[in-house]
Amino acid sequence: MSFQKSDFPPAGEFVPHEPPMLLVDDVLEFDQSHIKTRTVISESSPFFQPGRGMPSYVTFEIMAQSISAYDGAIRRDSGEPPAIGFLLGCRKFQTMCDWLQAGDSVITEAKPLLAEGEMQSFDCSVKTDAGLEIALGIINVYRPEDPIAFLSQV
């Protein structure tokens, strides 16, 4: 199934996070091949440092939440709620700037690369509204079928 921004409810309906930890503001596009999300950098973010901004390494979490929104959109199509997933790691993570400023709007795109059972890898990039790439990486995630049972075994 394919959607554009006007078709989507708020991003919080796809991601099992709540403010202030919910960093993704909008789902802009979704289909089986990718998701695009928007995040507007806010001074109310727990990561925002007055006088400096938000460290660019936080884009790693924005990428992870965009992947969660991808999974949440797929689950929504099946009538299921968003599910908890786990970040396993990252390869080739790079940032091209040090800080993001309040009011900056960034677009994150996540494309699934590989799925092996409950594990997946995504190619992610974060760009400004003008298309300037500010972060990229390959993110590995794990979403167990039953997260509660998994957590009880850890």
pLDDT of residue 63: 98
CATH topology of domain 3-153: Thiol Ester Dehydrase; Chain A (3.10.129)
State residue 9's pLDDT score: 83
Which amino acid, residue 78? S
- Could you state, in order of their start, the residue ranges of all structural domains in the chain? 3-153
**pLDDT tens digits along 133-145:** 999 999 999 999 8
Cα–Cα distances in angstroms (integers) from residue 141 to residues 40, 68, 89, 130, 146, in the given order:
24, 9, 7, 29, 15
Length of the chain: 154
Q: What is the pLDDT of residue 4?
A: 55
Helix, strand, coil percentages (3-state) for the chain, rounded to 5, are: 25, 40, 35
Q: Is the pTM of this model over 0.85?
A: yes
pLDDT in tens, 27-77: 999 999 999 999 999 999 999 999 999 999 999 999 999 999 999 999 988
What average pLDDT is seen over the chain? 93
Which CA distances in Å does 34 have to 62, 96, 103, 109, 147?
A: 15, 22, 25, 7, 24
